[in-house]
Chain A
Amino acid sequence: MATTTLLSPAELAYLHSTLSLTPPIRPDGRTATQFRPLTAETGILPGTNGSARICFADGTEAIVGVKAEVEKTRLSPYQDRNGRRQGSRRKGPAKSKQGKPEDSEDSGEEEDGELQDAEVKGSNDWVEISVEIPGYRDDDSSTVFLGTMLSEALLADGDFTRRLWINRRFHWKLYIDIILISPPLSYPLPLLSLTSHLALLSTRLPKLRSEADEDPMFDDDWAASTFIYPQTGEGSKTSATTRPPITLLVMAVGDNIIFDPSKEELAVADSALAVSVGEGQALQEKAAEEGTMEVDASGVDGKPGRALRLLSVRTIDPPSRLTPPGVPNSVNASAWGQGGAASKNPDARQAETGDVAGVWKAPRGGMKPAVLGAMVAKVLEKGGVADEVLDGLQGVELA
C-alpha cells in the first residue's frame, strides 16, 4: 500500500539529500541497517493455535492469530490416493471408502522413502491468509497485495503445507489472520511479516492418536501438542529447525541501501523491494533423509548452519513517484526578480526544468539491476540483516 504521505517538496529534497550521504543520516538517527526497536510476545490469544503481537515504539501494532481446523482432503481425479499421478496400477478415480485393503498395501510402501515423500504432499489451499488494515477494505488492492506477498513467501518452498498433512484423507487447514491494530503509520509489510513469523513459530497442533488413515483422533492434552515448526532438540529428525520465512522491506536512495524505512524515508526512495528469506534447512533435511553428507550439510563454518534462502523478491512502487516536484527559484513566479523572466504559467515550466540542487524531483524510471542485486545480496549476506533478525526473533520466548 503506497500510503500516500503529504510532504512538501522542500522536505522531500532535504530527506533525499540526507539519505544519499555516506553514511546516510536517517531522520531518526538510525544506521542504515538498524530496525526500529520492537516489543514482541507470543501466545496472547487463548483461543488460537498460535498467536503473536508485535509493537513498534511509534505505536504501530499488529496481532496475528493462527487457527487450525481438520479438513477432509479432496482428491483430484487425476491422482490416486497416494498422491501420485495415476499410473497403470489402478483404473478410475479412487473412492475413499475402501480403506482397509489400501492400508496393507501402503504399509508395504512405507519402507520406500521416496514414495512416502510423494505421499506427504500439501496443497496451497490448505493455508488461508487474511490481512486487515484499518481504513482499507478487505478487497483493496494494497491489502490483497500484502496478503499475497506474505502467503507467497510462506508457500514458496512447498515444505510448509507438508506439515499440515494428517493422513491421506485428512489434513489441517490453517487460517492465518493478520490484523494491524493501529493505523498504518508506515508501510506495514515488515511488521506483519515478523508478527506472522512469530505466530507460526508458536503454533501448536494437537497430537495425533489415531493411526494411518482412520478418522483423526487427537490427544486432549495440550501439553502433548507439537509445534508446527519443531523446536530445537524436540524429537525432530534433524537437530536443526526450519522456521517460517520473513519478509524484509529494503529501499535504496542513490547507492545507499536502507532497511526498515519509515514513512518519510519511503517517500523519497528511488526504489523499494520486499525480499522474503527463509532458512535453507529443507535441503538439509532432504540430505539427511537420503543418509548422505549429513556432516557436510549441518554447518559450514562450525556454527550450525543457517543457510539463508531467497524465497521471493517483489518490487514495491514507492510513493515517491507520485510526489509533486519542487519549483526552482529561477522559474518561481512568486520569487520574481530572482531568475530570468517570471513565468505567467509556472506549471507549464515545471516539467522542463532539469536537476537543480535543493529542488525535489520525483525519481523516474525503473530500478537499476546493480542496485537490485546489491539489495538482495545485502539481505542474504552471512551475519547480515536477515541473519540478525532471525536471531533476534529466536530470542522471543514462546508461550
Chain B
Amino acid sequence: MPITILPPSVAQEPTRSLYQDGSQSDSDSDGGVDLDGDVSMGRPTKRARRDEAIVTPGEVITEDPQWMRGHGTYTIPEPPQIISSVAGTLSKTNKLLSVRPLRARYTPEIGDLVVGRIVEVQARRWRVDVGAALLAQLPLSAINLPGGIQRRRTETDELQIRTFFSEGELLVAEVQQLYNDGAAVLHTRSLKYGKLRNGVFMAVTGTGGGGGVVRARRQAFTLDISSSGAEGGEKIDVILGVNGYIWISKHIEGEGAAAESSGPGITRIEESVGLNVYSSQNDSIPLDTMREIARTRGVITALVENGLRVDEEMVTKGYQEAVEMARGEGEGDDSLWLGGEKGKRLADALVGR
C-alpha cells in the first residue's frame, strides 16, 4: 500500500464557557482570562482543568496579586496581571505560576553534549547550528589537531580551516562556555568529540517540548544489533544531542562519542587521536548495519511522534520491540517502516498500554 490517507483526528472541543464566566465566581485562585471585548472568536475563556489547558502568548493568566510569576510569563504593573509570553501549558508550584512551552529552542547549558552543523566558517572560528536561538561558536583553538599535536594555532591552520570542518559538516561537541546573550561556545577537545561520519542525522525537538531528547546520564551509547539477525558483530552508535540533534552511525571500536572513557588521558592524547578524525570518507558499511540504522531512526521518530521521551533506555527498549514486531510480521518489504499505526503500536507497547 503506497499511500495511506487518514481523516483528520477530531480536535478536542475546548470547554467553551461564556456562560460559566458569569455564573461561576472565581473568588479564590485562578482568575478568569479576560480580554476586553473585541476578542470574541470563540476562544475559551475559562478552562476546567488548568493543567491541560493551553495558554497563548499575550493571554492574561491571572489578575490575582497572590500569584508569583515564573518562567514563560511576564507581568505588567497597571493593572497587575500575569501574562503568558509563550504558548504552552500552565503549571503551578505552590504560588508560582509558570508556563511550559509546547516547543522551544534549545537553551545551551555548560557541559551539554550537542550535535551541531557548521553553517559558517570565519577566520579563527566556526559558527555552528545547534538548534538554539543563536549560533554557537567553535574557536579554532578548541579543537584537536590531527595526530593530537599540542601547539599554538598558527596562521597556516587559519588558512587551512576548511580542512578541519567546512560548511554543512556535522560534529559532536560539548558546550564549554556561555555568553550573556545565551550563545554557546563549544569545544571538541576530547577523543569522544569531533567530526561525524558513517551514519545518518535526524533532528527532533530538544529539551523543552513534551517528547524529545531529555538530559540523561549518558547521551551517547552503543546499541547491540545482534538480536535482529545482523551478522558480523556490528554495533550502532547513537548520539542523542541534548539539543535534539541525533546522530546514528556504525560503531567503530575505540572511536566516537560512545567509546569507553578508559582510554588514555589528555597527556597521552597524541597516541590515540586517529589520523582520520577529520575524514569525510565513509568506511564500508555492511547492509545489515545500514538496515538497523534505518530501523533505529524509525524507532526514534515513532517515540517523538507519540510524545515519548528519547533517552538511552527508551531507544534501546524501543529498538528491541521494533525488532520483535518486524519478526512477528515476517521480514516484509516494509518491516522497517515505523510510521503511522505501527509507530503507535510500538509506543503503546513501550509504555505498557
Binding site for B on A (CB under 8 A): 6-11, 13-15, 17-18, 21, 23, 25-31, 33-41, 53, 55, 57, 259, 264, 323-324, 326-329, 332-338, 346-347, 356-360, 385, 388-389, 392-393, 395-397
**A41 with B8: CB separation less than 8 A:** yes
Q: Which of A28, A38, A335 meets B6, CB within 8 Å?
A: A38
Q: Number of contact residues on B: which range applies?
A: 35 or more
Distance between Cα atoms of A165 and B285 in the complex (Å): 61
**B280 with A338: CB separation less than 8 A:** no
**A13 with B282: CB separation less than 8 A:** yes
**B117 with A6: CB separation less than 8 A:** yes
Any chain A CB within 8 A of the CB of B338? Answer: yes
Distance between Cα atoms of A17 and B198 in the complex (Å): 11
Additional pairs, 10, CB under 8 Å, beyond known A9-B168, A26-B294, A29-B295: A8-B170, A25-B294, A29-B294, A29-B336, A41-B8, A324-B166, A328-B281, A338-B275, A346-B162, A388-B2
Q: Which of A6, A57, A329, A357 meets B284, CB within 8 Å?
A: A357
**B163 with A332: CB separation less than 8 A:** yes
Q: How many residue pairs between the two chains, A and B, have CB atoms under 8 Å in the bound complex?
A: 188
**B287 with A21: CB separation less than 8 A:** yes
**A37 with B340: CB separation less than 8 A:** yes
For chain A, what secondary structure do more than half of its interface residues adopt (helix, strand, loop), or is it mixed?
A: loop
List chain B residues, Cβ under 8 A from A328: 281
Distance between Cα atoms of A358 and B4 in the complex (Å): 35
B128 to chain A, nearest CB (A): 12
**A34 with B198: CB separation less than 8 A:** no
From known contacts A6-B167, A14-B285, A358-B282, infer whether A28 and B8 are also in contact, taking CB-CB under 8 Å. no
Any chain A CB within 8 A of the CB of B41? Answer: no
**B160 with A333: CB separation less than 8 A:** yes
Distance between Cα atoms of A291 and B79 in the complex (Å): 79
Q: Which residue of A lies closest to B247 (CB)?
A: A11
Q: Which of B66-74, B297-305, B309-317 contacts A (4 or more CB under 8 A)?
A: B297-305
List chain B residues, Cβ under 8 A from A34: 1-3, 334, 337
From known contacts A388-B1, A389-B2, infer whether A329 and B340 are also in contact, taking CB-CB under 8 Å. no
Binding site for A on B (CB under 8 A): 1-9, 117, 119, 146-147, 160, 162-164, 166-170, 195-202, 275-285, 287, 290-291, 294-295, 297-298, 301, 305, 333-334, 336-340
**B285 with A17: CB separation less than 8 A:** yes
A-B contact list, 30 entries, CB within 8 Å:
A6-B167, A8-B280, A9-B168, A9-B280, A18-B290, A18-B294, A21-B290, A25-B287, A25-B291, A25-B294, A26-B294, A28-B337, A29-B336, A29-B338, A30-B337, A34-B3, A35-B2, A37-B5, A37-B340, A324-B167, A324-B168, A327-B281, A328-B281, A332-B281, A334-B160, A335-B276, A338-B275, A358-B281, A359-B281, A395-B5
B353 to chain A, nearest CB (A): 20
Q: Which of A36, A360, A396 meets B339, CB within 8 Å?
A: A36
List chain B residues, Cβ under 8 A from A264: 200
List chain A residues, Cβ under 8 A from B276: 329, 332, 335, 338
Query: Among the interface residues A14, A41, A346, which one has the most CB atoms of the partner chain B within 10 A?
Result: A14
**A10 with B196: CB separation less than 8 A:** yes
List chain B residues, Cβ under 8 A from A33: 2
**A9 with B337: CB separation less than 8 A:** no
**B278 with A334: CB separation less than 8 A:** yes
From known contacts A8-B196, A28-B297, A29-B338, infer whether A335 and B278 are also in contact, taking CB-CB under 8 Å. yes
**A31 with B170: CB separation less than 8 A:** no
Distance between Cα atoms of A34 and B277 in the complex (Å): 37
B346 to chain A, nearest CB (A): 12
Distance between Cα atoms of A333 and B159 in the complex (Å): 12
Q: Which residue of A lies closest to B282 (CB)?
A: A358
Q: Which residue of B lies closest to A27 (CB)?
A: B200
From known contacts A9-B169, A358-B282, infer whether A40 and B5 are also in contact, taking CB-CB under 8 Å. yes
Distance between Cα atoms of A112 and B287 in the complex (Å): 67
List chain B residues, Cβ under 8 A from A15: 200
**B279 with A14: CB separation less than 8 A:** no
List chain B residues, Cβ under 8 A from A40: 5-8
